[in-house]
Amino acid sequence: MSISEKKQKWTATVVARNIARSPERMEKFLTTSNIELDRCFTPGFDYPGYDEQLGLPGEYPYTRGVQPTMYRGRFWTMRQYAGFGTAKESNERYKYLLSAGQTGLSVAFDLPTQMGYDSDHSMSQGEVGKVGVAIDSLADMEILFDGIPMDTVSTSMTINSTAAILLCMYIAVAEKQGTPADKISGTIQNDILKEYMARGTYIYPPKESMRIITDIFAYCKDFVPKWNTISISGYHIREAGSSAVQEVAFTLADGIAYVDAAIKAGLEVDEFAPRLAFFFNAHNNLFEEVAKFRAARRIWAKIMKERFHAKDPKSQMLRFHTQTAGCTLTAQQPDNNIMRVTIQALSAVLGGTQSLHTNSRDEALALPTEESVRIALRTQQVIAYESGAADSIDPLAGSFLVESLTDQIEKAALEYIDKIDKLGGAVEAISRGFQQKEIQDSAYAYQKSIEKNELIIVGVNKFTVQEPPPTGLLRVKEAVEISQKKSLGDMKSGRDSAAVASALAKLEAAAKSTDNLMPHILAAVKTYATLGEIADVFRGVFGKHTETVVL
């Protein structure tokens, strides 16, 4: 097919996709200086230098985005990650955010919930509701989503070891609202490999954890088809100190491991791969971040097509959520964080993200206040409606700097993936401590560069000022833990204990067999078995993972 034929085919696709929605959004537009511009410029079509690797938006290898129209069709989903204290307090924050124009929810869970402990467990002491919302049972999930239309709101849940349990609770609440499982949409993070590598909220050994994940893939394929069953996360890898190249490489290597595991579990690649999603960090270097996102899409498209022989174009598309970099936020001069977040958010938009969370200015000090959250959300809205960044499809395509960076990040990331393959894949490489050491070395080098003033952090090692201690910060009160424990006790005393015991016994039998675990977890949560009780069943059958220290 000639270049002109490709352009004609692409143009026809763009028009067809927009004709019913808003065809005027693809018409030429005017700048503030009354200069007329096309919605999409393409090397070789609009100026010299066409490259097959670059291609067109919405076409393999998706360097320029996974949709032909990108934000001319619709903006990215604007999510604000939120959750703290009790389910009631978090529910109030969600309603506030939705009223402020947020278009999707993103749930933060407290550490006990992430680690599979109920709020009344000794390991939970002092942590209940602190870094997210405490969810002990279906009763809490019912409160969390009270008055929120689960048939129309897309929900992302940042949860890994206990992802299957929380997803089943979400399904059960939706059904109580009258929304069947096949109508709900959202994402569970469900990425356990990066927990062993960078974050640490694992419970079970890798093999057993991978079984739970592939059971989720298989179950959702049949019963929750709109749900993204995993969000393969580079975010926490970057937060732990990796470079941009390492973030891409280690994330996609994890993706390869999940696809391998699902195929070995008997699934066809095109049955589950279209629901795979990714989660990346947006750091401070604007152009490197844009190039990182473009390179990641291109690498994944090639992996899925050439390595796993995926035929469905949706299986080849790397769709991703972005969060601005928490590790770049400073306690010093916290208002400077507004500018950092703006640059990072812009990189995600120019890089073609599907959804975005913007951090709040005070998160280096405490949970964000409502005012800070509103500023963070308004940052996305200003970029969308005022900046012009979303007026054109892939506006940085053809930039010598961006294209060179994209190529070099792709090359360096593929070299890392090749090393991991030679070590036996991501799981084996993690067991040997390969990724962990690479991240540690990168983090150490980054910190040294700050301490030597080779890397300037405004307000930290240059342009510093004396400032009074901050006031008006949001703190989770100790009374939250007392209240949560009482609610949990009241729920336990009022439930059908025999039904709970029977459901947990059936779950244990399923865990010892090869049955898909999801129907048994769903049955257990509907009896109001707690998250900790279900996790304890798995601890008893699967055991607990202990990290091997590699020196």
Q: Is the pLDDT of residue 108 over 60?
A: yes
Average pLDDT over residues 133-140: 98
Nearest to 203 by CA among 510, 543, 433, 550: 543
Question: Does residue 362 lie within any of the structural domains?
Answer: yes
Question: Does residue 126 lie within any of the structural domains?
Answer: yes
176-228 tens-digit pLDDT: 999 999 999 999 999 999 999 999 999 999 999 999 999 999 999 999 999 99
Question: Does residue 547 lie within any of the structural domains?
Answer: no
Average pLDDT over residues 137-156: 96
Question: Does residue 265 lie within any of the structural domains?
Answer: yes
pLDDT at site 19: 46
Identify the H or E element spanning 80.
strand 77-82
Question: Does residue 166 lie within any of the structural domains?
Answer: yes
Q: In what order do the strands lie in the sheet with 186-188?
A: 227-228, 186-188, 155-158, 104-108, 77-82, 355-357, 320-324, 276-282, 230-233
pLDDT at site 47: 46
User: Of 36-40, 136-140, 197-201, 519-523, which range is least confident?
Assistant: 36-40
Question: Does residue 116 lie within any of the structural domains?
Answer: yes
27-75 tens-digit pLDDT: 677 888 889 887 777 765 554 445 667 888 899 999 999 998 899 888 9
Question: Does residue 255 lie within any of the structural domains?
Answer: yes
pLDDT at site 152: 92
Domain that holds residue 83: 70-451
Average pLDDT over residues 93-116: 92
Question: Does residue 172 lie within any of the structural domains?
Answer: yes
Rounded Cα–Cα distance for residues 449 and 451 (Å): 6
DSSP code, position 70: G
Alpha-carbon torsion, ordered 13, 18, 24, 27, to 10 deg: -20
415-464 tens-digit pLDDT: 999 999 999 999 999 999 999 999 999 999 999 999 999 999 999 999 99
Report the 10 Å Cβ neighbour count for 4.
Answer: 10
- Please state whether the peptide bond connecting residue 61 to the residue before it is cis, i.e. omega within 30 degrees of 0: yes
CATH number reported for the structural domain that contains residue 127 in this entry: 3.20.20.240
Total domains present in the chain: 1
pLDDT at site 24: 55
* CA distance readout (Å), 473 to 22, 222, 365, 476, 516: 43, 45, 8, 10, 45
Rounded Cα–Cα distance for residues 403 and 396 (Å): 9
First and final C-alpha spacing in the chain:
54
474-501 tens-digit pLDDT: 888 889 999 999 999 999 999 999 999 9
